[in-house]
Structure 1
């Protein structure tokens, strides 16, 4: 899925399993692993932040019928317990080599919380956890000026493609292990865990 940044504030590296962020000395939000209880709030947040066309974007082809990569679905909750941010990563096979990688997205933050640093915190948390779990590369479709701060670029994606309409200059990658995407070519393919019947919301 193509997605645009919703926050601009950068934060430092975050703990892997759980993050508690303070602003001005006050606890502002917590990042934790997503659970089934969070699904309705997550879907409502995505609808508000990304609009009704979010399911028609190219990355949806790679997520449809799949579950997020194990251990790589996160939400940010404010101090009242409300879900104010979400990010998930998905297993994909990279091009002709079918090397394993992750596709990040959607990243979204409640529009009323755009300046709280939640998006940056979610990105750093997700990257740290993916590295901790031994993944070697992360791809996404997004704006290079925003995602460049996290190390994403087009340097290794010139010969890669998404399975649907997208803008080539927005296909970005971050190698967690140097050389993972060297010479990578071809179209990304869905991989990883499949959804059980009747649980489509997990892939939204």
Structure 2
């Protein structure tokens, strides 16, 4: 939606509408959702007007709760019951897939997605996250391929992607025999 479309629809300048939304104690994310635009677009529009608007900082979970009228985890569970994937739910709550996966990893007891996911199954079996397990395995000299097989991934790329989605970038042994060092 363009500035002109917003101002025509609302009958007032974007900056005035944004000030009213901020006065209600809502966040910039809420304001952008009201306009149907991305928050970066709203920032650009306000900076073009040379207007400073102080919005409340609201977490994504709080924003979803306010917008949907139910707790965040209840909303996520509802979407899972509707058959939505993790990527679809991440988009619906306004989070990147990587950020959403991090939220799920940090709250494994609240994660409503089916247990067919390897990382969740590992957590339920061992009580250890895959990030913690991989840090331990990398420290002990295992290769990425070996760690993938131990955890239950079919290929090391899947484990690497899962770790990167959770913000973990580890140094792995390359799997070859280490040379003997004589002093």
- State if a TM-score over 0.5 links the two structures: no
* Structure that is richer in helix per residue: 2
Q: TM-score range by the shorter chain?
A: under 0.3
Relative to its length, the structure with more strand (as a share) is: 1
Q: What TM-score, normalized to structure 2?
A: 0.23
TM-score, normalising length: structure 1: 0.22
Task: Decide which structure has the larger Cα Rg and report it.
Answer: 2
Higher-RCO chain (CA-CA 8 Å, sequence separation at least 6): 1
